[in-house]
Structure 1
Amino acid sequence: MSYQHSMICHTDGIRPLAPVKWRGLDGLMSVYWDAEGQAGAHAYYLSPDPRIVIFFNDVSPHIRMSNRESGFGQHDRPMTRAVYVPAGVPLWTKFTSWHRFSHLDLHLHQDRLMRFLTPSVGSSSARSVLRRPVEIQDVGPIEALAGLLVDEVANPSKHSVYAESLVGSIATALLDLPQQTGEQANGRLTQAQMNRLVSRLNARGDYRMSVGDMAATVGLSESWFATVFKQTTGKTPLQWQLSRRIELAQTLLVEGHLSLADIAAQLGFSDQAHLTKAFRQTVGETPAAWRRMQLTL
């Protein structure tokens, strides 16, 4: 399904030198411009969705940009070769001298970017990444990818998935994605991630979290989290969670004065029978037998 962007754009002193080339894709819009701006030309852009701009020549000596309408002279900076503008962030530009330029605009539906990034970095990290603007001058391989995309936009010759994969590669090369730690690269959670997870679990009254919530807590996708979690602890997330609840039940059985039914309710078990079954499977004894044994030691 193609995507129609709805960016607000006001320009003065900027004109295209050739017909605009564009192509609508699944949640994406690719637009190629060849244009010129006069000295003093200016523009304003605001989009409800994220946007990537890649220039095919150096515009930094000729174009200034600011996120404030009255920012020029105090809060402006040179326009860089590649820019990521988060959703809802306004951008003003101003030409300090005449300049001919060409650039690729990528308008991306935020949900489409979330679907693309989440399996690799997790929904929490993806949302954080999409809120951070990026401005780089050294575009490196991004320019080559953008050139391939412009060729496909101008003369479509392949399935749309090819163009969409190019957009995905450009986005991942440009966005400020978190670096994998050595532990994650080797398929293990870091101690800091485990500490966050334990703290979050302990803060819940019933000591229960979904696998999705656990993954979001440490900033990973659910599928990747499940894999590295088992390699880190030797248990699935739900097995580990159950073992911690049983450990807490043991503490309450020995140190507290709660009934077994009260302990079951406090730790999120459906009833006393559910706790007894889970306890026996984990410990090898019923809660009552285990408590009697502890009291005789």
Structure 2
Amino acid sequence: MLNLPKLPLAKWINAFVNWLTQFEGFFQGVTNFLNAIINSFQWVFDLLPQWLFVVLIMAITFYLNRKKQKWSLLILELIGFWYIANQGYWRDMTQTLTLVLTSSLIAIIVGIPLGIWMAKSNRVRTIVNPILDFMQTMPAFVYLIPAVAFFGIGMAPGVVASVIFAMPPTVRMTNLGIRQVPHDLIEATDSFGSTSWQTLTQVQLPLAKSTIMAGVNQSMMLSLSMVVIASMIGAMGLGTKVYFAVGRNDAGSGFTAGFAIVILAIILDRVTQSFNKQKNK
């Protein structure tokens, strides 16, 4: 082994984080913006009675699968929501759903344009790909440290950590979907005098929709996987129940709350997949 000097990398990172904390006003503004979105979702969920919420979800599922008549999914949703309400986890479930929807919304708003930019420029793809690799391979617990330093504790830092962890699939799949559009179609649209915006919105995005939606589905599932980790920094929801159960060594409470997360994950996965199939048709 070469006797090389040890780089003070940890000190450099800490110094950089401390330097960023001086922009407290900016981070406070981002926190207020995220809290506004979170409170809006939660206000809607609190406003709806439990029975109406279940009816709406089942109606959406039935509409998306009306030609296939997947009654098993409707039965699963009915039994799953009954279990969550019966165990007293309804409020926690809506808080978890708020965290997932907020994270997924931000991941879509940021990830899809970034994926389009990557598909249009090989240089951007070369720069962004290593960043996405870093975001996906870095342990999720590491994101909690700067999230707390910049945004405090609560739901907002949990959303930030979830977005960083869950956004790469949306970016990658958007880039992949657009790049897979046949060049013959692009040349045909150019020959008819279409602009770049018309080619993107009327040819590339419709043909890449299935791939993009697969990335959105994966981002939503990754965001849901962060709920237990985000509970360590004050994010409320089902993850908090699991986290407290681990601290008390309460296997029963941990299992029941974990099973509620599994039910919510299955419902979200099936509904988003049904939406994708409906759009493809």
TM-score computed with the length of structure 1 as normaliser: 0.29
Q: Larger relative contact order (C-alpha < 8 A, sep ≥ 6)?
A: 2
Higher-Rg member (1/2): 1
Higher helix share: 2
